Amino acid sequence: DAGVIQSPRHEVTEMGQEVTLRCKPISGHDYLFWYRQTMMRGLELLIYFNNNVPIDDSGMPEDRFSAKMPNASFSTLKIQPSEPRDSAVYFCASSLGGSPAVNEQYFGPGTRLTVT
Amino acid sequence: TQLLEQSPQFLSIQEGENLTVYCNSSSVFSSLQWYRQEPGEGPVLLVTVVTGGEVKKLKRLTFQFGDARKDSSLHITAAQPGDTGLYLCAGRGYQLIWGAGTKLIIKP
């Protein structure tokens, strides 16, 4: 069974450009999470969805960030316009049922974003 | 604000040595998870501890949840190069709170 799939694996873009990160969760999982990881701030939860509905977006840094989940098998995280301080590894994770804080989260391989 | 502090931030030891890393908070958590992350990959769950004082073993790894459910430790016996990675703890409060991690390097 395939795990969480993220694309692209690496993205290099110039400041001001729009960036779209994509995620396909594990089939049947009803929770989807977007995280950002940097050396300075560690792993930060940006937003999570339950049954395609955004539940908590309090971690989204600012209006330049937006996330959608149009169906159970696809989600996007968009940054527009991008800035150098957005450079980080972005992870998508999914989990099945129950409380998202108890059940195991399965992480994708991440997208390494570099904004120059 | 709930915080999880992990220590040490970085640890480099020789193969065969024992080590302990810590995850501490002033807050009480309903449960706590330990993940290991290898370079270029996402974190992978190792264990979930739920009961105060609980001890779980995973081969050479021993996890303990503090009696007051505010802290946890991970002890590795006879460390091997395959144990190298970033060890993250995550505590369940009103949401999942992540520590910054301990970067562990085991030298052959």
Minimal CA separation from B1 to chain A, in Å: 14
- For A13, A27, A32, A35, A74, the CA distances from A7, given in Å and listed in that order, are 15, 17, 15, 14, 11
pLDDT value of position B92:
84
Q: Cβ B92–A99 below 8 Å, yes or no?
A: yes
Low-confidence ranges of chain B (pLDDT < 70): 1-2
pLDDT value of position B95:
73
Nearest by CB to A101, from B92, B99, B100: name it: B92
Residues A78/A67, Cβ–Cβ less than 8 Å: yes
pLDDT value of position A85:
95
pLDDT average per 10 residues of sequence, chain A (116 residues): 92 97 96 92 91 92 94 97 97 80 83 98
pLDDT value of position A93:
95
| A56 reaches B (C-beta below 8 A) | yes
Q: Cβ A101–B30 below 8 Å, yes or no?
A: yes
Tell me which residue of A113, A88, A70, A95 sits closest to B35, measured CA to CA.
A95
